[in-house]
Amino acid sequence: MHPNTFRYRLRRAVDLSTADLADGNARFRAMLELRVLLRDEGTPAVAASVTKTRL
């Protein structure tokens, strides 16, 4: 993914969410929710890459 595409998508996700990503606890909660969502959807490629990310 191109860096500009990543930045745009990240800004868009922040705009659409109600989470305050400046808050460390909110970022952690969002990360956990995303991991659970991807695991539950059974998206193997994405879930595998997210699972490899260390806490």
Give percent of the chain with pLDDT exceeding 70: 75
Burial status of residue 30 (CB atoms within 10 A of its CB: 0-12, 13-18, 19 or more): middle
What is the three-class DSSP state of 17? Answer: coil
pLDDT band, very low/low/confident/very high, at 47 (cuts 50, 70, 90): very low
What does pTM read for this prediction?
0.52
Tell me the average pLDDT of the chain: 79
Task: Specify the pLDDT at position 14.
Answer: 82
C-alpha 51/C-alpha 40 separation (Å) is: 13
pLDDT in tens, 9-28: 988 988 888 878 889 998 89
Dihedral, 43, 33, 20, 4 alpha carbons, nearest 10: -10
